[in-house]
Chain A
C-alpha cells in the first residue's frame, strides 16, 4: 500500500510521537509498503530518505510542556503538494488535535484518512472548547486509533466519538541482547532509572528518598540514572554519604537506552502521574530487565496488575525501598518477572502492532479511491 504519515512535532527533537511515527514508518517499510512521512524538522538534511520536510516549527507551551507546532502558509503549501503528488491509498495523521501538520493534512486532504490520538488529557478545557472548530476536520477521519485506554477515554469524553485501541509498539529486537555499560557487568546490584531528572512527575525524588533505606538492606546497591536535566543540581541535593552510589549519566542516545536497561538488575519507574501509557516499561521488559513501577493506572495495565512487573504505591519511598531490596536479593523472582515481561511485550512488538494498523488501513481503503486534495481546503 502507499501510505502517508503526517507527524506533528519536530523530527529531530526527542518525543514519544516522533519515535512512534518513525518506528511505524520503518516497520511499514519492512513489511513492504511504500511510506512517506511529512514532518516539521530543524535540519532537513538529517531526515531519513522516507521523510519530507514541512518547515520549521514554533515552540508553544501546551499541556505542561513545550510543544512545537506548525501551521503556516508555507507548510500548508508543502502538505498540499505532498498529498497531491503521492496519491496515497491511506493518509495516517498523528495527533490531529494539535495545531500542526497532522491537523493541516486532515484539513487539506480528502479520502481514506486515519488518525492516531496519542494524548490523554482528562480535563482539557482547550480540547473541549476547540471541538466545534475541529469537528469539520475530524469528521473526515474514517477511523480513529487511540494508543492507550486513557487516550481513548479522552476522545470519547471530549470529542464525543469512539476509537480503536491499538497500543504503542516497541522494537523488541532493538532491546534484546544489549551489553551492559562499562563498569556494570554482573555480578552487581544495580537499579536503573530513565527519564527527565528534573521533572517531578518522573519521580526521581521518590527513588532518591528510598535510597538510604535501600542501602541499609542491600549494602552494595548502585543507582544508574539516565536522562536529560541538570545533573549538577541533582548531585548537589544528594546526601554526601550516598553520592558514590548514584551515577548520573545524563541524556543517553536512543540506541544506548538498551544498554542502560541491560546495566540494571531492576528497572524502576517511580513516576507520580501524567503517564498515559508507559512505553519505557515495555522497553525495559523487552530488554529482559524486571520492572518495579508506581501503581499508576497506565502502568498497572501494561504490567497486567503486577503479573509482568511489580507495583508499589505512588510516591511511597518506604514501599519502593522494600520492593527494590526484595527483588535485588531474589534471583529467581527476577528471572520469573523477566520471563513474564518478555511474553507480555511480544504483543507490543512493532510487527504485531503494524499488522493491526495495516488491517485497519485495508478496511478503510478497500474500494475507496486514493487520498486527494479536498475540493476546498480552507474553512470559511
Chain B
C-alpha cells in the first residue's frame, strides 16, 4: 500500500474512515444489545405475569376444592374430612393475599387429597352424589391448575436460569418461583364403593418427598397423561 504523493490526505482519510466505521459499528452493536436485552426483559415480564395468573388460578381451585370437601363432609357427617378441609381452608386467606405456596401448604393440601381418597368418603358420598361429583371435579381442576402453574414456573425458571439473565440480574429481585408439588391423584370412584377401591400407590409418599419441588425442568416433567376428565368443567 503505497500512496506516496498524496500521503497526507490519504492518512487523514485513514483516520476518519475507520473512525466512522467504528462509530457506526459500536452504535449498531449497542442498539442490537439494547434491543435484545429489552426483548429479554419483556419476555421475563410476560412470564412473570403468566406465573402470577397461574398461581392465582391454582389458589382459586384449591379454595374451591376445600369448599366442596367441606360441603360434602357437613352433609354426610364426615368429621375427619371436615377437620382436614377446615385446616386447608384456614390456610387460604394468606395465599390469596400472596403468601408463598410453600411446603407447609403442600403438606396441608396433601392431607386433603388423601382424606378425599378415604374409602369412607366414597361410600358415604353415595348418599349425596351431587356433592361427591362436585368434590371430584374440583379435585380434577386442582390437578389441571397445578399443571398449568408448574408449566409456567418451568418456563420462567428456564429463562431466569440463562447466564446472561443471571449476570445482568434481568430477573430483578423477585425470588425464583417454586414448583407446587402435591399428590393430587384423583379419587378412584368405582361403581361399588368401599374397600374394593384400589389403594393408591402415591398414598405412602410424604409431602414433597415424592418429587423434588425444586427439581429442574426435565425432572419435573410429568409422564402421566394430563387428562382432563369431563368432570373438570
Q: What chain A residues lie within 8 Å of B150 (beta carbons)?
A: 162
Beta-carbon contacts of A139-169 to B below 8 Å, as 1s and 0s?
1101110000100100010001111111000
Residues of A within 8 A of B144 (CB): 164, 360, 363
Do residues A143 and B148 form an inter-chain contact, with CB atoms below 8 A? yes
In contact, B232 and A359 (Cβ under 8 angstroms): yes
**Per-residue CB proximity of B193-233 to A under 8 Å, as 1/0?**
00000000000000000000000011001110111111011
Among A241-249, A251-259, A372-380, the one that faces the other chain is A372-380
- CB <8 Å contact, B50 and A140: yes
Check: B154 CB closer than 8 A to any chain A CB.
yes
Cβ of B177 under 8 Å from chain A: no
Are B227 and A156 within 8 A (Cβ)?
A: no
- Given known contacts A142-B50, A142-B152, A161-B221, what 15 new A-B pairs fall within 8 Å (CB)? A112-B53, A136-B43, A139-B47, A139-B50, A149-B225, A163-B226, A164-B144, A165-B225, A352-B230, A356-B232, A363-B61, A363-B145, A375-B42, A376-B42, A380-B35
A-facing mask of B98-139, CB < 8 A → 1, else 0?
A: 000000000000000000000000000000000000000000
Chain B, residues 142-160, CB within 8 Å of chain A (1/0): the string is 0011011011101100010
Given the complex, which residues of A lie within 8 Å of B50, measured CB to CB? Answer: 139-140, 142
Query: Which residue from chain A places its CB closest to the CB of B145 in the assembled complex?
Result: A363
8 A Cβ contacts from A333-364 to B? 347, 352, 355-356, 358-360, 362-364
A59 to B56, CA, bound (A): 43
> What number of residue pairs across chains A and B have CB atoms under 8 A from each other?
93
Distance A149 CA – B224 CA, assembled complex (angstroms): 10
B218 near A160 with CB under 8 A, answer yes
Contacts A162-B221, A380-B36; is A142 near B148 (CB within 8 Å)?
A: yes
List B22-78 residues whose CB lies under 8 Å from chain A. 32, 35-36, 38-39, 42-43, 46-47, 50, 53-54, 56-57, 60-61
Q: Which chain B residues have a beta carbon within 8 Å of chain A's beta carbons?
A: 32, 35-36, 38-39, 42-43, 46-47, 50, 53-54, 56-57, 60-61, 141, 144-145, 147-148, 150-152, 154-155, 159, 217-218, 221-223, 225-230, 232-233
B53 touches A165 (CB 8 A): no
Cβ-closest chain A residue relative to B225: A165
| 7 residue pairs from A and B, CB less than 8 Å apart | A139-B50, A140-B50, A142-B148, A162-B147, A162-B150, A356-B233, A366-B57
With both chains docked as a complex, state the minimum distance between the C-beta of A116 and any C-beta of chain B, in angstroms: 12
Are A161 and B53 within 8 A (Cβ)? no
Residues of A within 8 A of B152 (CB): 142
Q: Which residues of B contact A347 (CB under 8 A)?
A: 230
Q: What separation, in Å, do the CA atoms of A355 and B228 have in the docked complex?
A: 11
A265 at the binding interface (Cβ < 8 Å): no
Chain B interface secondary structure, helix, strand, loop or mixed? helix
- Cα-based distance from A366 to B233 in the complex (angstroms): 14
A161 touches B35 (CB 8 A): no
Taking Cβ atoms with an 8 Å cutoff, the residues of A that contact B are 110, 112, 136, 139-140, 142-144, 149, 152, 156, 160-166, 347, 352, 355-356, 358-360, 362-364, 366-368, 374-376, 379-380
**Interchain residue pairs A-B with the least CB separation, the first 7:** A359-B233, A139-B155, A164-B226, A165-B225, A165-B227, A355-B233, A380-B35
B64 to chain A minimum Cβ distance, whole angstroms, is 11
- Alpha-carbon separation in the docked complex, A355 to B140 (Å): 14
Return the contact of B46 from the options A140, A162, A163, A380 (Cβ within 8 A): A140
B148 touches A161 (CB 8 A): no
CB-CB under 8 A for A380 and B39, given A142-B148, A363-B144, A366-B60 = yes
Q: Give which listed residue, A139, A359, A364, A380, contacts B159 with CB less than 8 A.
A: A139
A160-B218, A375-B42 given; A142·B226 CB < 8 A: no
Cβ–Cβ contact A110 & B46, under 8 A: yes
Within the complex, what minimum Cβ distance (angstroms) separates B112 from chain A? 20
Contact among B53, B155, B225 for A368, CB-based, below 8 A: B53
Cα–Cα, bound, A166→B229 (Å): 8
Indicate the member of B35, B148, B218, B229 with the most A CB atoms within 10 Å: B148
Instruction: Closest B residue to A356 by CB, please name it.
Output: B228
B217 touches A162 (CB 8 A): no
Are B223 and A367 touching (Cβ within 8 A)? no
Q: Which residues on the A side are within 8 Å of B35 (C-beta)?
A: 380
Q: In the docked arrangement, what's the CA distance between A359 and B233, Å? A: 5
Chain B residues with CB below 8 A from A380, complex form: 32, 35-36, 39
A357 to chain B, nearest CB (A): 8
CB distance from B44 to the nearest CB of A (A): 10
- Inter-chain CA distance A144–B221, complex, in Å, is 14
Nearest opposing residue in chain B for A110, CB measure: B46
The residue on B at minimum CB distance from A366 is B57
A164 touches B228 (CB 8 A): yes
Contact residues in A for B222 (Cβ distance below 8 Å):
162
Question: In the complex, what distance in Å separates the CA atom of A360 from the CA atom of B38?
Answer: 32
Whether A152 contacts B226 in the complex (CB less than 8 A), given A161-B154, A359-B233, A363-B141, comes out as yes
Q: How far is the CB of A262 from chain B (nearest CB, A)?
A: 28
Smallest CB–CB gap between A378 and chain B, Å?
A: 9
A166 touches B233 (CB 8 A): no
Q: How far is the CB of A50 from chain B (nearest CB, A)?
A: 22
Task: Determine if B151 and A161 form an interchain contact, defined as CB atoms under 8 angstroms apart.
Answer: yes
What is the minimal beta-carbon distance from B115 to any residue of chain A, in angstroms?
24
Whole-angstrom CA separation of A358 from B53 in the bound complex: 17
Given A162-B222, A360-B228: A142 in contact with B36 (beta carbons within 8 A): no
B218: which A residues are within 8 A, CB to CB? Answer: 160
CA gap between A152 and B225 in the complex, in Å:
8
A346 to chain B, nearest CB (A): 10
